[in-house]
Structure 1
Amino acid sequence: MAGKQPPEPKNMVHQNAILCETVGKENRYQKLYTNYSINPFKEFYVIAGKPNQKEEEGEADNHFLQVIKRANQEPVKKYKQPQTEAQEVGWITKPLLQTDRGDTRLNFFRQNSPITKFMDKAWLEKEQQSMGN
Structure 2
Amino acid sequence: MAARSGEKEPLDAVRLDRLLCERVRKELQCQTLHTRFDVNPLRRVHTIARKPMSWHDAVEEPADDKFLNLIHHAALEPTKKYSEPQTESQEVGWNTTPLVPVDRTDRRLHFPHRRTEITK
TM-score by length of 2: 0.50
Q: 1:57 aligns with which of 43, 56, 60?
A: 60
Q: Which has the higher contact order (CA 8 A, sep 6+)?
A: 1
* SS in structure 2 of the partner of residue 87 of structure 1: helix
CA RMSD of aligned residues (A): 2.4
Structure 1 residue 102 corresponds to structure 2 residue 111: no
Structure 1 residue 78 corresponds to structure 2 residue 81: yes
- The share of aligned pairs that are identical, in percent, is 47
What is the Cα deviation at residue 91 of structure 1? 1.0
Distance in 1 of aligned mates of 2:47 and 2:81: 24
Q: 1:106 to 1:51 in 2, by over 3 A?
A: closer
1:14 corresponds in structure 2 to none
What is the Cα deviation at residue 67 of structure 1? 0.5
Unaligned runs of 5+ in 1: 1-44, 121-133
Question: Between Structure 1 and Structure 2, which shows a larger proportion of helix residues?
Answer: 1
Distance in 2 of aligned mates of 1:102 and 1:89: 30
1:130 corresponds in structure 2 to none
Q: 1:100 to 1:48 in 2, by over 3 A?
A: same
2:69 corresponds in structure 1 to 66
